[in-house]
Every structure is written in structure tokens, then in C-alpha cells.
Chain A
Amino acid sequence: MKGDFVLSKAHLSYWLRQLRKEFDLIAPLRSVGSDIILNSVSNIHEIALDCPANIPSPKEFIFPQKEEMFKFSDKGVDTLNDSRKRVIFGVRSCDMSAVALLDRFYGGLFEDGFYMSRRRNTFFISIACNNPDPTCFCTGLGTGPYLKSGFDIQLTDLGDRYLVQMDSKEGRSLVKNFRHLFQMPRKADYDDQYEANLSSQSKFEKRITLENVRQKILAGKVDDSFWESVALRCFECGGCVYECPLCTCFNVIDWKETPDKGVRMRLWDTCMFKGFTKMAGNILPAEKKIMRTKRWYFHKLLYYPEQFGKFGCVGCGRCTITCPGRIDMATIANKLD
């Protein structure tokens, strides 16, 4: 494609070091033990390039688990917008697809200023997945392992070099200033990309089409006894929601530091908890577990397509890893398909 480049792996750390001068550089880093988390990079060589696909999603950086919205005191109210410039390196294709959908959710008629402020200042360098995990199923959803559009910069590992593709003005600007590091791609580079893509597609162990599941539910072929059996296995831990790159629910609380000043903040919340919909007078509209598990699935499988034309799932497989009851999206979809 016109505008693509090739970056030798020898030049990667230099490029990232340059970007770090201007941006807060976030990348997968080895944490305690074998854990890998996305975090601010202080040493470029600590970036984990060979990490599995299931590291925590970058949702945290555009919709943090705990976000301070307003500071209030008897003197007045300040809106706390985070506009720190960030580059998140090493994001997976599925997560990039999720961000595109989050943009539409938080935008629209009522634009979420807190999300947008972070989002406008966050750029992504995603890496196409040559080695999908056994839990991955993005290939059936078109959200990976390689993206045709919807990214800032996409890297494809071609052994000793990366194919560098850009799909946004911001992405191009991250490359433009360091043009001397990048070469023009040759035909062999595209041949290698094609081969890497095919080889990756063949490695997927889970081949799931959510469309079949959606059709079955719409046709009324899935009765409540099925959802009852799902609910029976739910531990109400909320893991699926917290790990999901597309779950967006939050709670808002006021916290007082002293009697006359404090912070209004929002925190991730989960619809799996009984108290999530609790109303005045202790009324619990979704008291039964089946209502909550079913709502989660219906939201992702029926109402996301209705509202956005896309499933509320990008096939990242995180719920498969985290769910102790084995009632994750992939398992349920396999059962229903």
C-alpha cells in the first residue's frame, strides 16, 4: 500500500526512545513473576515483545478503573480532564477494534468529555498477531489478527523487520519526524506479510461465528432453561466485565477529604452484581442471576449489532481465561452454534 514503510528491528528501540521524549510511552512490561501489564516505560529494553495476547486491555488508559471527574470545595468546582499525551505500544488488533467501538459509544449525541480528552491525546501502535493464543477468536469476527483500517500505526513482525502501516494523521506524524529510520517497502515485504497473515489465520484453535448465535437467539431457539444453566455457573465475580475491552459501565461516587472539599469520581462497575440496578427503597430489578447473565450476553450479541452494527465482542478471549465458571463468550457461543 502507498505510504507504508519498513522498520528494521534494530531501529525500533531508537524510535520508541525518541517518541518517549514527547509522549508518555505505555507498553507491555514484565511485572511480578510472569505477569505482563501495560505500564509507563522507563527502560525501553524492558518492553515485553513476546508477550501472550491476553495482557490487560488498554481500556484502562482511556477509561480508567478509577477516574477523578471533579474536585469540589466551598470555593467552587474544577473539572479534571486528563490530557496527557500518550503512545501505547504493543496493542493487539482486537483491542484496537474495541477502541474504535468505544469511540462510537462515548461519542454520539452525548459526548463523554473525560473519555474524549484522553482519547484525543492517546495514539496506538498496534502489532498484528502472528501467534494467536488458544483462547483467541478474533478471526471469526473480523477484528483481527490483522487490521485493514482503524489503527494509528500497525506493525507486522516479518522476522528481522516490521512492516509499518498508518491509518491516521496522528499515526503518520509519529513516523514522519523520524523518516530516516524507515525504508520503503519492497515486494518481498508484502509477500512475507501475506505469508505471516495466512500462517496466523491457520493457527486459531477457536473458530467462532457469533452471527449464527445471534440468529438463533433472534429466532427464539434459545430458551430460558439454557440461560438458567449459565446463571447457575456464574460466581458473580465480575471478572468478564472488568477484563472486557468493550464493557463500559461505571458507578459515580463522591468522596469527601474534609467536610468542605472532595472529589467526584467514577469507577468501573459491573452489571453482574445484584446491587447494580438497585433503586430507591431497596428495589432490585435484576435480583435473579439469570437476568444479569442474560443481559450481558444479549447486550453483546443482540443490542450492540442493533445499535452499532458490530458485536460487543472482539474475540480477545480474556473472559475465557478469567471466568471461573466456564461460561465465557467463546464457550457459550460454541454451545449455541
Chain B
Amino acid sequence: MKKTYVIYNIAVVLVALLIALLIGAALFAVAGGNPITAYKVMLTEPLRGAFGVTETLVRAAPLMLVGVGVAVSFRSGILNIGGEGQILMGAVSGAFIGLSLPGLPKFLLVPLIFLAAFAGGALWGGIAGWLRAYLGVNEILSTVMLNYIAIQLYTYLLRAPLIDPQELAYGTGIPQTAQLTRNAWLERLIPGMRLHTGLIYAIIIAVLVYLLLWKTTLGYRMRVCGAEPLAARYAGMNVSRYLLLAMLLAGGLAGLAGAVELCGVHRRALEALSAGYGFSGIVVALFGGLHPLGIIPASALFGLLIVGADMMQRAVTIPAHIILAIQGLIILAVVSSALFITHRGIREKILGRFGWKEEVH
């Protein structure tokens, strides 16, 4: 019986995705492209060669980290919309360490950068978590607003204190830091491709977060606080503490996504470092059922969509930014489909059409 539900839930989410893509087709038509070709290019072109596949996975790594962080916060009863700011704060903290300690050997420098990035993101998430836990400030408002602050702070740091000295010397003034030393780079997995070890770390971290949330007493506490704060208090849990902890973790994981982009892709902090991963990560988390093991494949799918959108832009001359609209549609569809999953009556009706019967207790 349980198995039926799992299959049913997956089917519901996939149908929601399909509906979102259908509505998206109307957008393509408005933009003057052929939706069928556009989707065909978007969904198949990246899979035709090593380049597309590796680029998809390059995008998947930060999406996965942000998504897993979002899952931690959502499961603990706090809605973290601040991934974008947390990525940037993580990246800039990591860059600072990387630029300050260029002489360290790799086995020390990379972990230190990651640690700093985690701390930077955790600080940014923690502010919102603390405000919510102890002052009752709505975390959706605070995380969104903190995004703006983070973006401006980040830009300031890249334009003045941390700017690449060469940019000043040549007078070009592009807001970016100097390149990190080789010791700070993540290894590339395939020669000639950008795919790097960050993907492996991301998968390991996703699995660790799964174990944390579902197999440890700490994770149990966090989930109880998220699902029913009254019952958590009743059982002697300090709900505020776990809200704060959840936001520290969520922010830290987003910060790690920043570090992955920093050390794995760009090798310096630059303005367009995040590419909207903070928001796409929310889509990934919801699409993955707020479960780390669902988020791993979901992040690959959304990586595919992002890369596919770029390729489609070239093929049918529709701006790749349309993928943002499609992601928005997917969020709406997936969130709306939750009704079909949680409402027992509807579930039974639909399963009944396919010949399943639910037992009555």
C-alpha cells in the first residue's frame, strides 16, 4: 500500500510539472517561438553530448546544496527565501579566506574556505532565524529583505575592499576579486569540462542531511518543532532554539553552494556568481518533496532546464530568461499539487479510478 502512495505522489508531481510546461508553451508561443521545438531543444539538447551533461551537473551542485538547506528549514517550520543572499555571503567569506591565506596547502585551504563560506551563509540565515525565534519576525519578509542587503554588501565588497588589484591597475574596474590560488581550486573531474568535485561533495552533504533529519535525535527534534510546535513544547523541546539552528544550517548550506561556485567554477568572486540559485533552489526543494533524496535528482533536472534554456536561446532565438518564468510556473503547479497528495479523499478518488482501494480504519 505504502508503495502505491509513493508512486502516486511521484506521478502527481510529474503531472504538475507537465501542466507547468504546457502553460509555459503558451509563453513560448507569445514570444514567437515554436513551443515544441523549444522544449525539445531544452530537454534533449543538453543530453546529446558530454558538454551538456557535465554543464547540467555543474548547475546541479549548487542547486542541490541550496535545496537541501531549504528542506532543512522548511521541515523545521521556517520558510527560507534568503538563499540568494546566503550564497553571496558564503562566497565572499570564502573568497576572503582564500585571498588572505594563499600560501596554505590545498588540504587545509579548501576546507577552510568551505568552513568560512558555511559560517558566512549561516550568519546571514541565522539573523533571520534569530529574529523569527526570539522576536517573532516573519521569516519570509526578513529573508527576502536580507537578500537585498546581501546583494548590495556583496557588490560593495567586490567594488572596493576585495577588488582585484589588476582591475584597478588597468582601470577596467570590473567588480570581481583576484583569482584564487590554485590551492583553492576544486579538481575538474573530466579534462576539458567544467565538472568539478563540488558535485560529489554536494551529494555527500545531501546524504548527510538526510541522515541528520531522519536518523538522529537532533533531526527528529527539528522535524517535531517544524510539524507541531505545540507538541514540541509539550515534549520539552526548546522550539526557538531549533528554529535558529535550522536557519543556521540552511544558511550555511547555501553558503557552501557559494563556495562551490567560487572554488569550482569561477575561481574568484564575481558579480554574477549565483545565477539565481538561491531562488531556483526553493523550486528544487519543493519539487524534490523537501526530502534530500528527492532533491538530488530534482537538482539534476533543474540543472538540465537551465542549461537547456541557454541552448534553446541559440536554437529558437527566445531569451533564456524565459526559464525563470517556467520555474515560477513549476513552483505554482507543484505547490498546488500538494492538495492531491495530502487530501485523503481526493487521493482515494483518483486512485479509485485506477482500480486501487484504500483500507478504512
Does B bind A?
no
A-to-B contact residues, CB < 8 Å: none
